[in-house]
Amino acid sequence: MKNELRRGDVVLVEFPFGGSRERGLKKRPALVVQHDRYNRRRSVVILAAITSSRAHHRLPSKVPVTRDSPEGQKAGILMDSVVDCQTLVTIPTGVIIKKLGSLPEGFMHNIDAALKDALGIRN
């Protein structure tokens, strides 16, 4: 799936939780946040977790997306969710189960702002 991945794609993956792969995996959607230049060349991808947990969803590093919104429909999510830009992981592209959908470029500007907040990047 490596060459097919694009920034903004929502994929289903066994996402590590608890700080490491040894602690456990949970099947969940995740957002491809890595630049397409690297998606084409690398066998790993950087993902942001997508969670249905609404806890702390008003933090600037977390971007809500509702299931019934145009973005949620395009993303293929099954419930109201939050893209958690504080929870990033780099995984091999081979462990991606499938692509669910994608978030539109305009919505990705919200993700960019959340990533900048989470990573402390200043303009």
pLDDT tens, position by position, 96-112: 999 999 999 999 999 99
pLDDT of 55: 67
Q: Is 4 exposed, middle or buried (0-12, 13-18, 19+ CB in 10 A)?
A: exposed
CATH number for position 37? 2.30.30.110
Look up the pTM and report it. Answer: 0.89
Tokens of residue 42, six digits: 């690398």
How confident is the model at residue 68, as a pLDDT?
95
Dihedral, CA atoms, 30, 109, 67, 63, nearest 10 degrees?
A: 70
Q: What range does the domain containing 80 cover? A: 2-119
What distance in Å separates the CA atoms of residue 105 and residue 74, rounded to the nearest whole number?
11
What pLDDT, on the 0 to 100 scale, is given for residue 23? 62
Q: Which of 107, 118, 122 is nearest to 56 (CA)?
A: 118
- Based on the structure, what is the number of domains in the chain? 1
pLDDT value, residue 5: 95
For the chain, residues with pLDDT lower than 70 are 1-3, 17-23, 55-57
